[in-house]
A = this chain, B = another copy of it.
Amino acid sequence: MIGALIGDPARANMLTALMSGKALTASELAAEAGITPQTASSHLSKLEAANLTRQRKQGRHRYISLANDDVGGVLEALMGLAAKCGHVRARTGPRDPALRRARVCYNHLAGELGVRLHDSLKANGFVREEGEDIDLTDRGAAFVREFGIDLDALSTLRRPLCLSCLDWSARRTHLAGSLGTALLDRIYTLGWARREENSRVISFNRKGEQDFLKTFAV
């Protein structure tokens, strides 16, 4: 059963670290989980055997990342449930408010600003939401092209364009999928925000946040 894999504290810590979307080495993950490399090695074999993670060997390094978006989504949902039930992991630091404001959820924007983006797209009729499915409208397609995204390139990917993802802190839906990733990349490119080192926090600078709020008005 897959739950048992996620259940172990050490593995949970590693998976949480991988939620940043970055590929981490086995040693880094060991440090993150507070265990020795040999123990981590054992855990990583199991995670990989269950197809929760994927590895890429490069030289003498072994880079680990989550196997796919689904895994990230399930982990996010689990964290949300844990947060709601009051079983939040210890480790609540000063980063917490920033995390709530804007963070990376595997590869797309989450937190208050992530919800804001989703709501804005919906309010303006750029996406149509039906249950758990999200579809980009014609007007929405025009909008994202205008925003500077190569929509045709995204369409050729096998990955779904729009996916809904449940937010951990706000308990609201936000946008995942290849479009979600592309939007976040574009936000970096525009210089509105940057990733904090060793953290899931996304820091918007003053001007970037103003532009963001103006572009994605509700």
Residues of A within 8 A of B (CB): 1-9, 12, 50-52, 70-71, 73-74, 77-78, 80-82, 84-87, 89, 166
Question: Ordered nearest first, which 7 A-B pairs have the shortest CB separation?
Answer: A7-B7, A4-B7, A3-B6, A3-B7, A51-B85, A2-B82, A74-B77
Across the interface, name the chain B residue whose C-beta is closest to A7: B7
State how many angstroms separate the Cβ of A48 from the closest Cβ of chain B.
Answer: 11
A interface SS class: helix
Report chain B residues within 8 Å CB of A3: 3, 6-8, 12, 78, 82
In the bound complex, residues from chain B placing their C-beta under 8 Å from that of A7 are 1, 3-8
Number of copies of this chain that the complex holds: 2
Check A2/B81 contact, CB under 8 A, given A7-B7, A50-B87, A86-B51: yes
Q: Are B1 and A85 in contact (CB under 8 A)?
A: no
- Across-interface contacts of A52 in B (CB, < 8 A): 85
The interface residues of chain B lying within 8 Å CB-to-CB of A86 are 51
Contact in complex: A12, B1 (CB < 8 Å): yes
Of residues A1, A4, A84, A166, which shows the largest number of chain B Cβ atoms within 10 Å of its Cβ? A1
Smallest CB gap from A81: residue in B = B74
Q: What B residues does A6 contact at CB under 8 A? A: 3, 6-7
Chain B nearest CB from A36 CB (Å) reads 20
A89 — nearest CB in chain B belongs to which residue?
Answer: B1
